[in-house]
Amino acid sequence: MRVIDPHAHMTSRTTDDYREARRSGVECVIEPSFWSGSDKLYPESFFDYFEHIIDFETERAERIAGMDHYVTIAINPKEADDREMAEAVIDRLPEYLDRDRVVGVGEIGFNLQTDAEEWAFREQLRLAEEHELPVIIHLPHTDKPAGAERTVEILEEEGATQERIIIDHNEPDTMEYTAATDCWLGFTLYPGKISIEDVMPLLEEHGTDRMILNSSADWDDSDPLAVPKARDAMLDAGWDREVVRKLVFENPLEFFSQAENFEYEP
């Protein structure tokens, strides 16, 4: 059963990771803009990074693994707390939003839930709305319920098109807020945070429409095979094959097909 991983920071992975993911059924990945492992010191560092993931990573994915690779562009919440830096970067973001392989804005949202992060969140949300692009929203890793509640308030205040938004990094204590929206909901299968065994009861309760599984596959203790492993775990647990296919393939395909530059063909 083929897989699309809709949130994987492949610039942090090795070529062997690409090959293993492809052998496990991952045919397509979307790479959101992320913290590069150390803080960027200058606005120009962001632009070099954007060029890297747009050009080099898409070429590497195809060359190494025959995998389709797309990106979303943003200043990540972890790097949005420097207001002066954020203003300089966001001012130039429109230059990148029409580039080949760019299929959205993200990830944006909260990290420490500061005023500067909220300013960057709103500005980038407005850019996505202007360009009619999908959005990946990052829920904070601490005080998640409050972050989820504030995230939903901002989406409503901004009048964002919720059908073009994934609210990612959901856990049981965020569902009260996020499941009440028309947004798509992402679950990042990350060691020590949430597993597919944790997610399955949430899917039973809330259904599988607008639900998406991803790996993150970043610099920390993450697994680029998390989505194929979740597929297998759900099948082993007796879930209907078509329901599992919907989660790991059809839902991310439907969501990112809203982007004009998303050209993946099953």
pLDDT band of residue 156 (cuts 50, 70, 90) is very high
> Residue length, the chain?
266
What does the pLDDT look like over 119-140, one tens digit per residue? 999 999 999 999 999 999 999 9
**Residue 178 within a domain:** yes
Query: Which of these, 248, 264, 230, lies nearest to 1 by C-alpha position?
Result: 248
Looking at the structure of the chain, the number of domains it has is 1
Which DSSP category does 77 fall into?
G
pLDDT of residue 65: 98
**Does residue 252 lie in a domain region?**
yes
Ramachandran region, residue 119 (left: φ > 0; alpha: ψ -120 to 50; beta: rest): alpha
Query: Measured between alpha carbons, how far is residue 133 from residues 68, 89, 184 in Å?
Result: 19, 18, 14
For residue 201 the two structure tokens come to 């009861």
- Range 170-207 burial, b when 16+ CB lie within 10 A, else e: bbeebbebbbebebbbbbbbbeebbbbeebeebbeeee
Percentage above 70 pLDDT, the chain: 100
pLDDT at 195 over 90: yes
Q: Residue 265 and residue 96: Cα distance in Å, rounded?
A: 23
* Within a domain: 261: no
Domain range for 251 is 3-256
Report residue 211's pLDDT band, with 50, 70 and 90 as the boundaries: very high
Res 53 pLDDT > 90: yes
Q: What pLDDT score was predicted for residue 266?
A: 87
For residue 28, tell me if it sits in a domain. Answer: yes
Q: What is the mean pLDDT of residues 73-98?
A: 96
**pTM greater than 0.85 (yes/no):** yes
pLDDT score, position 193: 86
Write the pLDDT tens digit of every residue in 6-15.
Answer: 999 999 999 9
At residue 105, the pLDDT reads 98
- Does residue 205 form part of some domain? yes
Contact between 56 and 76 under an 8 Å Cβ cutoff? The reply is: no
**Does the structure show a pLDDT above 90 at 36?**
no
Domain of 32: which CATH number? 3.20.20.140
Comparing C-alpha atoms, which of 145, 207, 209, 203 is closest to residue 178? Answer: 145
Q: What is the pLDDT of residue 192?
A: 82
Contact 79, 40 (CB under 8 A): yes
Please state which of the ranges 4-8, 103-107, 220-224, 253-257 shows the lowest mean pLDDT.
220-224
Block residue for tokens 């990106």: 71
* pLDDT, averaged across the chain: 97
Confidence of residue 157 (pLDDT cuts 50, 70, 90): very high
pLDDT above 90 (res 37): no
Position 59 in a domain: yes
pLDDT tens-place string over residues 60-77? 999 999 999 999 999 999
pLDDT over 90 at 141, yes or no: no
The predicted pLDDT at position 212 comes to 98
The predicted pLDDT at position 205 comes to 97
Residue at 209 is within a domain: yes
E strands of the chain, at which residues? 3-5, 26-32, 68-73, 102-109, 135-138, 165-168, 184-188, 211-214
